[in-house]
Amino acid sequence: MVSDYRIQGATGDWEVVIGLEVHAQVVSNAKLFSGAATAFGAEPNTQVSLVDAAMPGMLPVPNRECIRQAVRTGMAIDAQINKWSRFDRKNYFYADLPQGYQISQLYHPLVGEGQITVLLDEKDEASAKTIGIERIHVEQDAGKLMHDQHPTMSYVDLNRSGVALMEIVSKPDMRSPAEAGAYLRKLRAILRYVGSCDGNMEEGSMRADVNVSVRKPGEEFGTRTETKNVNSVRFVMAVIEHEARRQVDLIEEGGQVAQETRLYDPDKNVTRTLRSKEDAHDYRYFPDPDLLPLELEDSFLEECRASLPELPDAKRKRFEALGITAYNASVLTAEVETARWFDSLLDAGAEPKQAANWVVAELFGALNRLGKSIEDSPVSATHAAELLGLVADGTISGSIAKTVFEKMIESGDGASAIVEREGLKQTSDTGAIDAEIDKILAANADKVAEYKGGKQQLFGFFVGQTMKAMQGKANPGVVNERLRAKLD
Amino acid sequence: MSVNADQVRHVAKLARIAMSDAEVEAMVPEFNNILGWVEQLGEVDTDGVEPLTAVIDNHLRLRNDVVNDGDCRDAVLKNAPDAQHGFFAVPKVIE
Amino acid sequence: MGELNIKTIAQLRDGFRAGEFSAREIAEEFNAAVEAGRALNVYTVETPENALAAADAADQARQSSDLKPLSGIPLGIKDLFATEGVDSTSGSNILKGFKPPYESTVSGKLKAAGAGMLGKLNMDEFAMGSSNETSAYGPVISPWKRNDGSNAALTPGGSSGGSSAAVAAGMAPGVTGTDTGGSIRQPAAFTGITGIKPTYGRCSRWGIVAFASSLDQAGPMARDVRDCAILLENMCGFDPKDATSLDLPVPQWEAGLSSDLKGKKVGIPVEYRIDGVPEEIDALWDKGVEWLRDAGAEPVKISLPHTKYALPTYYIIAPAEASSNLARYDGVRYGLRESPEGGNLDAMYAATRSAGFGAEVKRRIMIGTYVLSAGFYDAYFTKAQKVRTLIKRDFAQAFGECDFILTPTAPSAAFGLNEKMSDPLAMYLNDVFAVPASLAGLPAMSVPGGLDSQGLPLGLHLIGRELDEQGILNAALAIEERAGFTHRAEKWW
Ligand SMILES: [Mg+2]
Ligand SMILES: [Zn+2]
């Protein structure tokens, strides 16, 4: 699908070209090269080993789980896994970088080319677009600097120093802020399905470097800028819009885009120069002599593959095949927790199509009201399946189901127990129904006459009145049947 | 290849070593001497030769994902020229 | 008593075990020798109490028959090794006052084997030098003097110059050294002692301050071959904290010592006969061949065609790695900090590193930074790593024709202090024979062969196959038995 997103300039329409480098924190107990913990929010410098602080003579030893998670992530995006890779040092000085270099992978990354397919419109398969992935490499995170604690000093906390990151580098395949947003959301979903990154952008578990350039459609790529460390989908989209506009204006005024690194200021919604190419770093990458080449065995790769869960695309297709609408399937698979919860609902025997409708309409509504996420839904999947079962087998009506659901939320009890206790069972007892119908017909003789005179739409009125009289517990099928027998 | 004073200054900047003009001037010929000498490697035919990656045939071992280190702030900060409130302190960095 | 400090480790160990003297007597005598030898500037830190504590533990252990391999033996530890709570400064101002809260694996193993520590040994700053003159603590003075009555102060070699001088002057029976491009072997040769660099990966590098990670190896220096075997056994072994550590059992090198070389072939590389090397050295080399033949080995001519390129290769790779390894000395977390008034972070880095590093270290960081920088990386660093592949291949081919290789250790005997400091290239040439084995990660050692006409020691150099430390220890033993090198520096200090 070709994007028609254009920036209108004085000289005509411009196309924006976007590539994203996403840093995703790998889920692991210990750091990439040391045994220090990775948990978020610890006291400063309490999760720092002598290795992370780059004490003299300290050496890195890689954490298998971090490699494993990166490989699994690569497999999840159909990427080439490089059985031979290597760590390189990226040399630069900064107070948050104790070694004076970051251990990363430039020349031989762990994961090569792959791709991610995004849907620009959740209801429309035809809106699918494939975004190429250039590579995924594994590297260390830096520490953190605090600038507001002291008038003349910055404070250094190394808790993050050495935490494993995957840098996921896309090809410059995106052409609109919406595409970039869809890509990021999809990437985040995949990472969370795989379990290799928690995708928590507020805690910095995922952040993006946004590469933007503009060109007249069909022409060569323009000079790009890189806006660093953007930490939400919304901000990434804002950066692209702002940066594309800025570049178009600049070029049309006769200027030239400088290849530079920029920073995004969310408060002012602008990007500004961090450093230009002239004073760019010369990172002097070279193979880290403390680490031998990383060679992966087939058994390791097999385990990585075998441990992959069903991924969002496959899950969505399976749901659709069960008769679930494209929209519902898309909503149900967007977040791994929802998908897992829904799968356990199906496992508990719920009918897929109804279950999907119920989750999207009823459960989401209730969770929204309660301000709860699906993992701490007060109604378990087993209980929900029970509720849907009672509707399906005619034990309760759809409207009683809503009442039962409310009571389930309040009490945490099972659906059957509530129906039993509160006497909400639907009745098909024709005697009781007939008695009520007779009363209603007698009390509304005028309407009966109108109906018989051809005002067919009054049938609904009689159904409603009967159901009301039966406190919703009458089987609607039986009510219909008895009413027709008496009226027609 | 040979370097001039500006290039030496650039390298010194990359390496974060303050050098006076006199030091830079003195280093230029030394630098060129050493570079000229190592450039004899140009005589060696290395077509098709892979750069050495491991001195001794050995595989990279991987560690298990176990937290068995860290939580030693005192040791980490013990030798710091300036430690404040559990942090290393450095001259203010303005982004 | 009064003679303990010139005994070998084996003699001290056996005499102590037999009850001829106590560990405390040994420690006290060495402590006294250390104190008496301060003029040589061998030790940067003296730790007599540590040596005594280990000695007392050894004396106790002897009573309860609970002896460890090195019980009763005090050692000197090169300042490049981190020693817990004791200044570990790598001979540099930038680490002045640094007391690591950790102990290097190798020194820790020696201590766990019962050894005490006499102190930390002076060295070239960050092990960069061949004369111990780049140390922030000033040069070590060799105990040796020329026999011409000139009284000139000589170098004990470098970078393990404090280590070599300590053994030669009876200020330690054995010491640790490290060897990146000859820093164990050349100083051993200059001071008439024995030193071995094992195969890369045998000794853990954890806790040893890194100079050039792909080359650095620790090893022992001692009076004789047996002592080297004893110490080496207690220094080597797999360390999960070093990703380049070899996961192999440590052979019993002492028990395996044998000077019977029947069936062995000793390779004589034609390329090691180079212009400008004194005839005496070539003559000693020839003598070495004869001694090995006498022990049963058959000499064969071999070729190591890329020998000539080893030094330039080394002087690209080692500075490149060093420029990165030494980036951590930035004044933030430990060591020296120089903060110019009102200066920013970069100014602090530049001032700290300018004040903290000496001239040779700066020179190498600069060269290393340059050869890795944009546009030059392939021409220098990649090229050097390719030539390194060829050098390694040369050895592999040679070892198809011989079991070990004999060469001189250094192209000259010890030179005078200040003689070569003004000419870096002349200094670098000192390691011309030592560097190829370093680039190939091979075990290599120096054993004394004789004295030159000025009365200064000369060493013979043995290079072995990967992991064949036993092969070169045995060949060195054969030379030792035949050379009859019993010369000692006459005590003048
Ligand atoms: Mg980036
Ligand atoms: Zn990165």
Q: For residue A43, how far is its CA from the centre of ligand 1 (angstroms)?
A: 28
- Residues A353-374 have a mean pLDDT of 95
Give yes or no for C213 touching A (CB within 8 A).
yes
Q: How far apart, in whole angstroms, are the C-alpha atoms of residue A34 and residue C437?
A: 32
User: What is the interface size between A and C, counted as CB pairs within 8 Å?
Assistant: 98
Tokens representing C104 are: 């290097």
- In this complex, which of B14, B69, B89 lies closest to A153 when CB atoms are compared? B89
At A140, phi and psi to the nearest 5? Answer: -90, 145
Q: Which residues face C206 on adjacent strands?
A: none
Active site residue C78: yes
What ranges do the domains of chain C cover? Answer: 1-493
Ligand nearest to the CA of A229: 1
SS3 category, C450: strand
Which chain B residue has the Cα nearest residue C84?
B75
Statement to judge: residues A72 and A209 lie in one domain:
yes
Statement to judge: residues A268 and A319 lie in one domain:
no
Statement to judge: residues A49 and A193 lie in one domain:
yes
Dihedral of the CA atoms A286, A289, A295, A301 (nearest 10)?
A: -80
Statement to judge: residues A245 and A351 lie in one domain:
no
> How many structural domains are present in chain A?
3
The per-residue pLDDT for C281 is 97
Q: How far apart, in whole angstroms, are the C-alpha atoms of residue A396 and residue A404?
A: 9
Statement to judge: residues A285 and A357 lie in one domain:
no
Task: State pLDDT tens for residues A376-421.
Answer: 999 999 999 999 999 998 888 888 899 999 999 999 899 999 988 8
Last residue of a domain, one of A406, A422, A438: A422
Mark yes or no for CB contact B71/A37 under 8 Å.
yes
Catalytic residue among C7, C78, C111, C264: C78
Task: State pLDDT tens for residues A77-126.
Answer: 999 999 999 999 999 999 999 999 999 999 999 999 999 999 988 778 88
Q: Residue C39, exposed/middle/buried by CB under 10 A (0-12, 13-18, 19+)?
A: exposed
Alpha-carbon gap: A58 to the closest alpha carbon of chain B (Å): 12
Alpha-carbon gap: C387 to the closest alpha carbon of chain B (Å): 7
Task: For residue A416, give its domain range.
Answer: 310-422
Active site residue C453: no
Which chain A residue has the Cα nearest residue B94?
A147
Tokens representing C401 are: 């024709």
Which chain C residue has the Cα nearest residue B61?
C243
- Residues B66-83 have a mean pLDDT of 97
Q: Report the complex ipTM.
A: 0.97
The per-residue pLDDT for A477 is 83
Task: State pLDDT tens for residues A164-192.
Answer: 999 999 999 999 999 999 999 999 999 99
Last residue of a domain, one of A268, A303, A338: A303
Give yes or no for A280 touching C (CB within 8 A).
no
Mark yes or no for CB contact B63/A63 under 8 Å.
yes
Task: State pLDDT tens for residues C290-309.
Answer: 999 999 999 999 999 999 99
Q: For residue A96, how far is its CA from the centre of ligand 2 (angstroms)?
A: 14
Alpha-carbon gap: A291 to the closest alpha carbon of chain C (Å): 6
In-domain check, residue A277: yes
Mark yes or no for CB contact A150/B95 under 8 Å.
no
At A91, phi and psi to the nearest 5? Answer: -95, 120
Tell me: pLDDT of A22 over 60: yes
The per-residue pLDDT for A143 is 97
Statement to judge: residues A60 and A198 lie in one domain:
yes
Q: For residue C213, how far is its CA from the centre of ligand 1 (angstroms)?
A: 28
Chain B contacts in chain C segment 88-147 (CB below 8 A): 97-102
Statement to judge: residues A265 and A331 lie in one domain:
no
Q: How far apart, in whole angstroms, are the C-alpha atoms of residue A199 and residue A312?
A: 15
Q: Which residues of chain C does B81 touch, with a Cβ-Cβ cutoff of 8 Å?
A: 331-332, 334-337
Parts of chain C with a pLDDT under 50:
1
Q: Which residues of chain C does B45 touch, with a Cβ-Cβ cutoff of 8 Å?
A: none
Is domain C1-493 classified as CATH 3.20.20.70? Answer: no
Task: State pLDDT tens for residues A2-17.
Answer: 678 999 999 999 999 9
Statement to judge: residues A42 and A158 lie in one domain:
yes
Domains of chain B: residue spans and CATH: 1-64 (1.10.20.60)
* Average pLDDT score, chain A: 93
In-domain check, residue A100: yes
In the chain, the amino acid numbered C475 is A
Q: For residue A314, how far is its CA from the centre of ligand 2 (angstroms)?
A: 30
Closest CA to A25 of A183, A191, A246, A222: A191
Active site residue C109: no
Let me know: does C457 contact C190? Beta carbons within 8 Å: yes
Which chain C residue has the Cα nearest residue B75?
C101
Chains near C with 3+ CB pairs less than 8 A apart are: A, B
Radius of gyration of chain A (CA): 30
- Among the listed ranges A244-258, A417-431, B56-70, C125-139, which one has the minimum average pLDDT value? A417-431
Give the CATH number of the domain where residue A449 resides.
Answer: 1.10.10.410
Chains near B with 3+ CB pairs less than 8 A apart are: A, C
The per-residue pLDDT for C1 is 47
- Residues A332-361 have a mean pLDDT of 96
Q: How far apart, in whole angstroms, are the C-alpha atoms of residue C173 and residue C184?
A: 16
Q: Which residues of chain B does A154 touch, with a Cβ-Cβ cutoff of 8 Å?
A: 89-93
Statement to judge: residues A326 and A471 lie in one domain:
no
Statement to judge: residues A293 and A341 lie in one domain:
no
The per-residue pLDDT for A1 is 56
Q: For residue A305, how far is its CA from the centre of ligand 2 (angstroms)?
A: 25
In-domain check, residue A1: no
Ligand nearest to the CA of A23: 2
Statement to judge: residues A258 and A186 lie in one domain:
yes
Chains near A with 3+ CB pairs less than 8 A apart are: B, C
Q: How many CB atoms lie within 10 A of CB C207?
A: 29
The per-residue pLDDT for A276 is 62
Last residue of a domain, one of A422, A446, A479: A422
Tokens representing C78 are: 């090169």
Tokens representing C96 are: 């002045």
Statement to judge: residues A279 and A323 lie in one domain:
no
- Which residue, among A49, A63, A282, A286, would best test binding to C if mutated, counting the most C CBs under 10 Å from its CB? A286
- Residues A222-229 have a mean pLDDT of 96
Closest CA to A24 of A193, A191, A171, A190: A191
Give yes or no for B77 touching A (CB within 8 A).
yes
Q: For residue A208, how far is its CA from the centre of ligand 1 (angstroms)?
A: 8
Q: Which residues of chain C does A285 touch, with a Cβ-Cβ cutoff of 8 Å?
A: 372, 377
